[in-house]
Amino acid sequence: MSQQSLCVFCRRHAVEHAWRPFCSERCKLQDLARWADGTYRIAAEPVEDADSDGEDTADDGNLKSDF
């Protein structure tokens, strides 16, 4: 007996081949929106910004332009 996979977002409908691992475009887009707005996060150590060394690089006058 084979068991159908459920949508990873709504967990109510069977996975559609065209939207795998989701059941529909709606679930796919809602999942993407949660990643985009920061609802989903991956646990990790905080990363310190490279610009947080106390120096302001915008006013040093040594910036070169390719134009």
Domain CATH number, residue 8: 3.30.50.10
Domain membership of residue 13 as a residue range: 1-42
- Would residue 4 count as lying in a domain? yes
pLDDT, greater one: 20 or 42:
20
pLDDT exceeds 80 at position 60: no
The total of structural domains in the chain comes to 1
| Model confidence pTM above 0.85 | no
Mean pLDDT of 52-66: 58
Quote the pLDDT of residue 38.
Answer: 87
Band the pLDDT of 9: cuts 50, 70, 90: very high
Return d(Cα 18, Cα 7) in angstroms, integer: 12
37-47 pLDDT, tens digit per residue, is 989 888 888 88
Report whether 37 contacts 59 (CB < 8 A).
Answer: no
